[in-house]
Amino acid sequence: MEIIWYHPSMDPESWLSGLRQRLPQAKVRRWQPDDNAPADYAVVRSPPVEMLRGRALKGVFAMGAGVDEILQQLRQHPEMLAAEVPLFRLEDTGMARQMQEYATWCVLGWFRRFADYQRQQQQAHWQQLKPYTRENFTIGILGAGVLGSSVAQSLRQWGFPVRCWSRSAKTLEGVTTFHDRDQLPAFLDGTQVLIDLLPTTPETTNLIDRQLLSGLPQGAYFLNIARGAHVVEDDLLAALNSGQLAAAALDVFQTEPLPAHHPLWSHPHVTITPHNAAITLPHEAMDYIAGAILELEQGQQPTGRVDRQRGY
């Protein structure tokens, strides 16, 4: 069994040795531009077209939950990966808990008005602010997949009303669910905190625009821990400047790294992190990939296979 590995910036040694330990029967190598030798599987992040083109692979594994980069390459270079080659993404592997931590930090901070108190501290101003009521602090999550449903259940434990919107109908315990475009206005109505956990597809690109944000209550909050491609950033800035949004926490952007001159950096009601809401945990990811390869070798179908038409 031959496995090729590629990441544009990561040190390969820990991954190569980790995969070899988990799959001692396999030969694992770092792909180089002149490597045309046969391979059975590929483990990749942002792979060059020539790495995958023409290979009769049994499976390709993305080192992350998102596969939009690979799918974008396939739209431009459909010959890069044959249609019958299965593409897999990391569905959880430790990322769900990280997303829960990030979302809980933001929601509780906004609910307790900690940012408002921090601004008062900077002005040496002592004043108790009117608290929010828990029953009216509705959390709305765009996306009800593995990560979205995990965050929803985590926030339920704090007693907030939680709702989810997804492309197709879902049932989640204790969560009000909405689906399809027709139900999006009802989902937004009354949502005090909007959390984006959607995959990137042609339908979700630029979904969060002026019209969508105007469907939220005045003074709502927005958290994006999914993909920057979902947000029209000029419309987001307009909503923040008008007070339609009270604040936003952003981990992802249309252009990354976020350009130094971008107005989001200095906006007083924006919190920025550098796309680290949930990072790939190598040991958990390698456990999944090794297990999935063994399943494929035994003729089984692992979880995490990407529907290329849907984009996730």
Cβ neighbours around 68 below 10 Å, total: 18
Phi and psi angles of residue 181, each rounded to the nearest 5 degrees, phi first: -60, -35
Active site residue 275: yes
Active site residue 113: no
Q: Which one is catalytic: 55, 167, 227, 230?
A: 227
List the one residue out of 119, 97, 100, 44 whose CA is nearest residue 74: 44
Give the integer Cα–Cα distance in Å for 226 and 312: 13
Q: Which one is catalytic: 262, 275, 305, 308?
A: 275
Phi and psi angles of residue 118, each rounded to the nearest 5 degrees, phi first: -65, -40
Q: From residue 54, give the alpha-carbon distance in Å to each of 6, 25, 50, 169.
A: 17, 25, 8, 38
Give the integer Cα–Cα distance in Å for 218 and 67: 34
Give the integer Cα–Cα distance in Å for 86 and 106: 36
Q: Virtual CA dihedral for 122, 126, 130, 131, nearest 10 degrees? A: 70
Give the integer Cα–Cα distance in Å for 123 and 125: 5
Tokens representing residue 288 in the block = 């999944």
Q: What angle do CA 169, 71, 27 make, to 5 degrees?
A: 110
Catalytically annotated residues: 227, 275
